[in-house]
Structure 1
Amino acid sequence: MSTTPPVLAAELAAAWADIQRYHPELPDLAAPESLIGESSSACGHALSFERLLHEAVHGIAAARGVRDTSRAGRYHNRRFLAIAEELGLDHPEEPHPSSGFSLVTLNTDAKKRYRSTIDRLQRALKAHTAATESDNIARTFRGPAARHGSSGGGVRVKAVCDCGRNVRVVPSVLAQAPIVCGGCGKPFRIPEPVAVAS
């Protein structure tokens, strides 16, 4: 399996930092690799600057203590929408029945503000796609979740950190590059199964 190109991870971190310049309350991006490993999200966006800005809305909502989704994170409510507008995202008039206001798009002002950032990130994404294209052709069957756009194409499992925190992650995403705990700085890992004595 190929590793995550450091250039793409660096460009994602740089783009996130650019968003933080305009929105200082946005928390740091702990693991750009988690975005790289997921071809889509519950939010319905492929990896792009627009997707990154969408994730920044969730970051600001978390920093403010705002509950911006329901239905296990799928339905994006009007609180999400209000923050999305602050960040330069437009939305459809009516919410989607199952995902709410998740399908936001960059408005004209945001496109101008982030033009150079968008261009740099698109170049890095194209290079990443070209580098991994041969891997995608040789990829084996991953089950029905992959065909239906599930994040990372698989079932999420619990990954733990030595400080006691845990996250749910698709194992193939974690295998691409470490996801580092923001609390202690150590990588999350999938614990070994405990052997049952017979």
Structure 2
Amino acid sequence: MSTTPPVLAAELALAWSDIQRHHPELPDLAAPESLIGESSSACGAQLSFERLLHEAVHGIAAARGVRDTSRAGRYHNRRFLAIAEELGLEHLEEPHPSSGFSLVVMNAATRRRYRRTAERLQRALSAHLAATAADTKRSFRGPAARHGSSGGGVRVKAVCDCGRNVRVVPSVLAQAPIVCGACNKPFRIAGAAEPVTAAA
């Protein structure tokens, strides 16, 4: 697993600290690398300061013991929206049928408050994306690195009975069942009738 570039990690930490300055109950950001790369589409796939605020809403909800999502974290409920509004975010449309109030955006006052922090973070993100693109073009990283899995191959969506999902290489899932920690049922390839199991 690659680590977050030091400059980007530092900018993420600074941006998070700026949010904490206005909202002291927000816990520390333990793992900046968790915000880079794949993410839940319900929370926003692209890393930005606005998404950082979105994640801060989840952080404050966790600190307060508030359940702000349902449906395995996909549906953002009105409790999420209430905390989001405290952080200067607003939801301009009707709730989405599957993700609820997840598509929050900064209001004008919040954009002004965090303008310099957001600009610094965006510069760091742009530099990271440029470096990543250059690395991809200039170097051969092998099939495992290209597909993001130690087993190589293209990952597909696997689901469990409670609705949670993971991305996994089918050959890895075929070696042994991957069991969901929430419902204790094995994940199966989306659309498949039975869980994928190891060959006899």
Pair in the same fold by TM > 0.5: yes
- Find the partner of 1:143 among 151, 155, 161: 155
Cα RMSD between the aligned structures? 2.5
Alignment match, 2:62: 62
After superposing the two structures, state which structure 1 stretch, 92-101 or 52-61, moved more: 92-101
Deviations 1:23-63 (A, max 9, x none): 00000010101112335543134100000000000000111
* 8 Å CA contact retained: 1:92, 1:101: no
Identity %: 77
CA distance in 1, matches of 2:12, 2:40: 16
Segments of structure 2 that go 5 or more residues without pairing to the other structure are: 141-145, 148-152, 158-165, 170-180, 182-200
SS in 1 for 2:60: helix
How far has the Cα of 1:3 moved from its partner?
4.1
TM-score (norm 1): 0.69
Alignment match, 2:167: 154
How far has the Cα of 1:70 moved from its partner?
0.2
Count residues with an aligned counterpart: 151
Matches within 5 A, 1:50-89: 50-89=50-89
Segments of structure 1 that go 5 or more residues without pairing to the other structure are: 146-152, 157-166, 168-198
Largest Rg, 1 or 2 = 2
SS in 2 for 1:154: strand
Higher relative contact order (CA 8 A, sep 6+): 1
Alignment match, 1:113: 113
How far has the Cα of 1:79 moved from its partner?
0.4
Change (3 A) 1:48 1:101: same
TM-score (norm 2): 0.68
After superposing the two structures, state which structure 1 stretch, 35-44 or 67-76, moved more: 35-44
Change (3 A) 1:129 1:110: same
Matches within 5 A, 1:158-197: none
